[in-house]
Structure 1
Amino acid sequence: MMADNTTMFDLIRHGEPEGGPMYRGSIDDPLSDTGWQQMRDAITEADHWDAIVTSPMLRCAHFARELADRYQVPLHRDDRLREINFGEWEGRTADEVMASNGEKLSQFWADPVSNTPPGGEPATDFNHRVVESWRHWQQELAGQNVLIVCHGGVIRMVVADAMNIPLKHAFSSLTTPYACRSRVQVDTSTHGRFQSLVAHGAFKTLKP
């Protein structure tokens, strides 16, 4: 029988990495000075977490470690929370990809399920590993307040799962700027499991 509980998940996208905006995917750049500031600015005095889960990528893990030390809470690294691999587009800006491969890029955003970036990770594979991780931490950290430090694509997959957005539309239906935050509430009871998006964007004015 399911235990009755409410789990609150805050998700934060990493800040700007060194090298600036580009299709980075599996490229493991650390945060720039600007990126560190963006992430620190996104944390509020009202924030309280019992545990932190992070992507292993440097642009996420270094900040997650700083917060875990500050709040004295457990830190869990999960390889399934890596960003999607953009294949041949990695290391190139959106303008550069548009100039050389614009039709394919437009097709990807319109329907990523049917249009994998050249040499990249299929959207269905990416979605599967992220949702697998999402389900795991709902069970493992049930009833707690949890922060997940991750990537724009990962946040899109989690929000799409919570809101039943088809994978075909999951990339284009949500903007996730640097240090963007989302809050998802997961309620579990004998009647089942219910997920709801509580907030997305700036949290400075959000009451706990």
Structure 2
Amino acid sequence: MTETIIELIRHGEPVGGRRYRGHAIDDPLTEKGWRQMWNTVGDCHHWQQIISSPLSRCQAFATALGKRHNIDVTVEPRFSEVGFGEWEGLSHEIIKTDRIDEYHAFLRDPVNRRPKGAEALDSFIQRVVAAYDDTVQHHNGKRCLLVTHAGVIRAVVARTVCAAPVGLYRMKINNGGITRIRHTESGGILECLNGQMTEE
């Protein structure tokens, strides 16, 4: 297998402040969110392919970056954020005050104590990993950028380092942060988490 590099960038700050956004909330980026994204990538354009979540907080930047550097952009629905059920659209502060017991139960066991109506974590991980594996296989030997969400990045990282799903929310993923995974014949290696883009 030829070496393949996948870089994942989390979308910048969305309109509406800190709240639970799964695949049912499609807030666009704020001006700060756009700056976070452009500041992270800088002048880098070393990708042969850009792949984006269909949600506007990802896709708008992916499209703009692709146009700027004449890089093909595709949309992969399986890279959408995990669904948060009845927590969708609620602020972190409301959850931590009005639903404190639910919140702590979720942090202790995010696999079995999901918000009501939320996407099952195992199912979410399966769809993300399937999309990721397809990406690595289809773009073998290339360098690709995935523009996506914190949950998606957590799922990919956890799979790469063989971490259990119960620990997914113990991983902080910054707005505009870069994660890099290098794939060789021996498998994927996590090289960077929450970094800036650098030319190699």
Q: 1:18 corresponds to which letter in structure 2?
A: V
Q: Which structure 1 segments of 5+ residues have no match?
A: none
Matches within 5 A, 1:35-184: 35-172=33-170, 174-184=171-181
Aligned length: 199
TM-score by length of structure 1 reads 0.91
Q: 2:93 corresponds to which letter in structure 1?
A: D
How far 1:46 moved relative to its partner? 4.3
Are 1:12 and 2:5 an aligned pair? Answer: no
How far 1:9 moved relative to its partner? 0.7
C-alpha distance in 1, partners of 2:166/2:37? Answer: 29
C-alpha distance in 2, partners of 1:180/1:75? Answer: 20
Matches within 5 A, 1:16-27: 16-25=13-22, 26-27=24-25
Aligned counterpart for 2:183 among listed residues 186, 191, 201: 186
How far 1:59 moved relative to its partner? 0.2
How far 1:147 moved relative to its partner? 0.2
TM-score by length of structure 2 reads 0.95
**Per-residue deviation, residues 152-182 of structure 1 (Å, max 9, x unmatched):** 000000000111111111221x111211110
C-alpha distance in 2, partners of 1:46/1:60? Answer: 18
C-alpha distance in 2, partners of 1:85/1:100? Answer: 20
**Per-residue deviation, residues 117-136 of structure 1 (Å, max 9, x unmatched):** 11111111111110010111
Deviating beyond 4 angstroms after TM superposition, the runs of 4 or more aligned structure 1 residues are none
How far 1:111 moved relative to its partner? 1.8
Aligned counterpart for 1:197 among listed residues 179, 186, 190: 190
Aligned residues: CA RMSD: 1.3
